[in-house]
Chains A and B, each alone.
Chain A
């Protein structure tokens, strides 16, 4: 006979097993405890499975997105021959600025030479130099803007991909944090089956209390006899007089 009682004051559950042999009782009790532990494990696994699996799925999706964004950016860099448009454009503009300064100084030298010695034979060479510097400036500016292959026109596509990569990376961070939290949460919500007392093997039979059973049956019969007697007396009172 198996008897489970929940104690509401202490929160303990008491599992009692009565059997005809002490070994049987202990064996049954241990088996039942084992089944209980299995059930608790299944419940935990199910609760853990749901939340953590969802979080892991999100992390996987975020990782895939990051990789896709990186690959797209790499492919764009290769196809457009571009590493970092901002720095590249800055480099080109710096060169152009230096050239402008140089052109200005050469132009000044040329102007002064024309004033002082209009027929100096170095003048055509200087003129040629100013023009060459002007062409170089135009070439440098053309690298950055104006032409269809310029950095400015590649900038839009590059920034779109770079932004996508940033977003994907942030998404991955968030997903990782959520996964960590889900793991902590399931750990916190886990059910435990703590054995306070292990089933013991009785040395001698505790049951049945033979004398008690006999006395109980006698007492119960006496009570029932009284009740039945009173009923019968009541009925006989209603019987006709003859």
Chain B
């Protein structure tokens, strides 16, 4: 028990330190510095939201279109950039393995945390600003919103643990991954509610774990204005076995990795 406690203390400190290092190396101290972490999702969500706003009018299926796009885009961008940055994260940071306290999983966790917190900041920012402008509703149920967000984050982390070691094993993955994340877009649930789709398409889309998380978040934000379709167990039940495979892959990579 004492070992667990000490280990936890060390790991949190290591991760904190690595997050600070990651922020500094990635964004520097110039300009707005680490605030750049929320610039990309912010721009994405706001600009696409405004585009849709002018293209399709203020509401779609009875919910504010800007809020709908923002709630869809932010998790999607989190997922995409996390997976993107997970690639090559081992070889880029391999010198850190020189320190005994730094474990291979920390490298993935650090990048994942930076993205997740950055997108949470962006979410908070957008929601506050658009709430003030009356384009974002007061969340119906924070519980569903948070649970959906954590499911989405779990799915993101799971894929990151798979992609990071695989990218060390094969160069091809690096080329294929952007296309794959792009093809993931229809299965991310970002631009629709499952209820709006044709029954067979809906059934197909509900095989995808992030859709459940997204529906949950949408229900948390819009409440009874939307008909969510989600299962509380599907996303974790999908993620946990895959996460296990990912952790095994990380372990394998650690053994074969060259540390300079």
Contacts and interface: CB of A to CB of B under 8 A. Distances in A.
Interface residues of A, number: 24
Interface stretch (A38-46, A100-108, A180-188, A229-237): A229-237
A5 B225 contact: yes
Given A215-B143, A223-B120, A227-B120, A237 B227 contact: no
A125 to B, nearest CB: 110
Nearest to B124: A227
A8 B195 CA distance: 12
Contacts of B117: 226-227, 229-230
Contact of B142 (A7, A14, A216, A226): A216
Interface string A195-230: 000000000000001001101100110010011011
A14 B19 CA distance: 47
B34 interface: yes
Interface string B20-45: 10011000010001110100000000
A238 interface: yes
A230 B34 contact: yes
Contact of B29 (A8, A226, A238): A238
Contacts of B150: 219
Given A223-B120, A227-B124, A216 B24 contact: no
Contacts of B142: 216, 219-220
B158 to A, nearest CB: 19
Interface string B197-241: 000000000000000000000000001110100000000000000
B143 A8 contact: no
**Closest 10 interchain pairs by CB?**
A5-B224, A234-B34, A216-B143, A8-B62, A219-B146, A226-B117, A216-B142, A227-B121, A230-B117, A212-B143
